[in-house]
Amino acid sequence: MTPAFHYRDGALCAEGVALEDIAARFGTPVYVYSRAAIEAQYDAFAAALSAAPSHLVCYAVKANSNLAVLNLLARRGAGFDIVSGGELRRVLLAGGDPRRIVFSGVAKSREDIIAALDAGILCFNVESPAELERLQAIAAERGATAPISIRVNPDVDAQSHPYISTGLRENKFGVAIAEAPALYACAAAMPNIRVTGIDCHIGSQLTSLAPFVDALERVLAMVDALAAAGIALSHIDVGGGLGVVYGEEHPPSPAEYAAALLARFGNRPHTLLTEPGRAIVARAGALLTRVEYLKDNGDRRFAIVDAGMNDLIRPSLYGAWMGIEAVRPRHDVAAAVYDVVGPVCESSDFLGKNRSLALAGGELLAVTGAGAYSFAMSSNYNSRCRPAEVMVDGDTAFLVRARESFEDLVRGEQLLPADA
């Protein structure tokens, strides 16, 4: 549990609102976010980095791209790390400042680049020589100058799940750090490119400081080598990846993370950029789901709920452990060990395994830590409508995304002509 999600009078609440009331009003499954928790985590990063001569916290939009979430952060002066043209449009629609947007991602399309150039973003994080050439060509066509940093791959093991480790030589991201000086020299000679920074991102859900420090030391050595070669940078982007507590993890706090970075950063004049996503929103969210059936096959007990892997894929995709709590714990039923599974036709459709719960059927459960990479990764598999999203602010719950309807599912589809 987090301060934003707590028990009051025997029932789980988000800030001042009972989750039972949210389920009754909006149905299940439903995502619930705490405004106070999101703002507190962003403020923790901003305060921790305030000792730097200049800094910018660029929220990783991919973690949770709901417009209300983006708008809360834009109001607080956040920057944004985007990876697609769609995320660019979301940030702008939510009131984000384009001058505080960095554009990452390995496959920026021509259309994406044009939209970002026209918007006047802070920086393109270049991930390959081919992308740099495309940027130069498009900027020249439009009589523009593209501000760039190069995402270097420092070959540092993030000690995380292989699917979310991004800083090893074998990963698709960035440019090998040994090859970066030549690419910087090439960029500096291009007439429509302005070299502004350097970027790295080694992975997600890191729970120790050592990989961050290792990567930063390699990046700083590169910055110094570039300066000696006459290429001066204005910012250093250390990426994101700070982990959170889902169960037994013990990640550093934002203050500990910032202190470790700043100790190596010293009194450099560069602006320090970070790209936290999960660490800002993960523990600010929960997924409410209702138990539809209990099933005992003799070997295992199953609590079959109305949320599935299409709503929350992290357990199925990554084997991720997420907390599952009864919204109103029962004391009239003996606890038993259940696999909490969904309605999707896949054996991998589960939210949690071997969970001790007191159930009789019909109970509300809360999957905690579901503010990041949860709704953002949801799908319509099995023709299931995606859940509603609700933001709690004190004692008020706001619908910030309506539940999808069948009409939403089939919009844009059409039958073949009758005579075809």
Q: For 7-21, write each residue's pLDDT tens digit.
A: 999 999 999 999 999
Cβ burial of 280 (10 Å; 0-12, 13-18, 19+) is buried
Residue 411 phi, psi (nearest 5): -60, 130
> How confident is the model at residue 159, as a pLDDT?
55
Structural domain total, the chain: 2
Domain identity same for 65 and 123 = yes
**Do 155 and 67 share a structural domain?**
yes
Whether 122 is in a domain gets the answer yes
**Measured CA distances, 325 to 11, 75, 307, 354 (Å):** 11, 32, 14, 13
> Do 71 and 195 reside in the same domain of the chain?
yes
Residue that terminates a domain, selected from 248, 277, 306? 277
List the domain range (segments joined by +) for residue 341. Answer: 5-33+282-410
**Would you say 320 and 385 are in contact if contact means Cβ atoms under 8 Å apart?**
no
Cα(69)–Cα(156) distance, integer angstroms:
31
Other C-beta atoms within 10 Å of 365: how many? 29
Q: In 242-351, where does DSSP find H-type helix?
A: 254-265, 278-281, 314-318
**211 upstream amide cis, omega within 30 of 0:** no
Backbone angles phi, psi at 70, to 5 degrees: -60, -40
What are the distances in angstroms from CA 96 to CA 77, 87, 182, 265? 8, 11, 34, 28
* 387: CB partners within 8 A, 6+ apart: 28, 29, 30, 31, 287, 307, 311, 375, 378, 403
Same domain, 195 and 305: no
Does any domain span residue 39?
yes
**377 CB-contact burial (10 Å; exposed 0-12 / middle 13-18 / buried 19+):** middle
* Pair (263, 132) in one structural domain: yes
How distant is the alpha carbon of residue 81 from its chain centre? 10
Residue 232 is predicted with a pLDDT of: 96
Q: Is the pLDDT of residue 399 over 90?
A: yes
Catalytic residues, by residue number, are 345
- Residue 296 is part of a domain; what is its CATH number? 2.40.37.10
Q: What is the dihedral of CA 189, 169, 65, 59, to 10 degrees?
A: -70
Average pLDDT over residues 160-189: 74
In a domain, 418, yes or no: no
Query: Do 29 and 74 share a structural domain?
Result: no
**Bridge partners of residue 151, in order along the sequence:** 199
170 — pLDDT class (breaks 50, 70, 90): low
- Name the token pair of 244: 């959170």
Per-residue pLDDT at 171: 66
- 58-98 residue pLDDT tens: 999 999 999 999 999 999 999 999 999 999 999 999 999 99
pLDDT in tens, 102-127: 999 999 999 999 999 999 999 999 99
Residue that terminates a domain, selected from 247, 277, 307: 277
Average pLDDT over the chain, rounded to whole? 94
3-state secondary structure of 8: strand
Domain shared by 300 and 270, yes or no:
no
Instruction: Check whether residue 194 and residue 249 sit in a common domain.
Output: yes
